[in-house]
Amino acid sequence: MTTEEKLSLLENTFELDNGQLKSEMELSEIAEYDSMAKLALIVMMDEECGKKLTGEQIREFKTVQDILDFMD
């Protein structure tokens, strides 16, 4: 999966318009990155990437790039 595809998947998960996310963005700057988005992220990681994501791992994410790296 390319970086662009991953970003698009995250944008869909967070209900953002295409092109809004950049890998260098701080998650704290994204208003839509709330508790519901984090739950959606857990589901998306399981369904799309086959990865289990824990609350502890989510707390360690600081940037969009951190999430992209986990998706690999």
Instruction: Look at residue 72 and tell me whether its pLDDT is greater than 90.
Output: no
1: number of Cβ within 10 Å: 12
Inter-residue contact 21 to 11 (CB < 8 Å):
yes
> Strand locations in 19-71, DSSP E?
none
**How does the average pLDDT of the chain come out, rounded?**
95
End-to-end CA distance of the chain: 8
Say which residue the tokens 């990681």 belong to.
45
Tens of pLDDT, residue by residue over 17-49, are 999 999 999 999 999 999 999 999 999 999 999
Instruction: Look at the chain and report how many structural domains it folds into.
Output: 1
For position 11, what pLDDT does the model report? 96
Helix (H, G, I), strand (E, B) or coil at 18: coil
Residue-range definition of the domain harbouring residue 45: 3-71
Report the CATH number at residue 12.
Answer: 1.10.1200.10
| Spatial distance between the Cα atoms of 31 and 5, rounded to a whole number of angstroms | 22
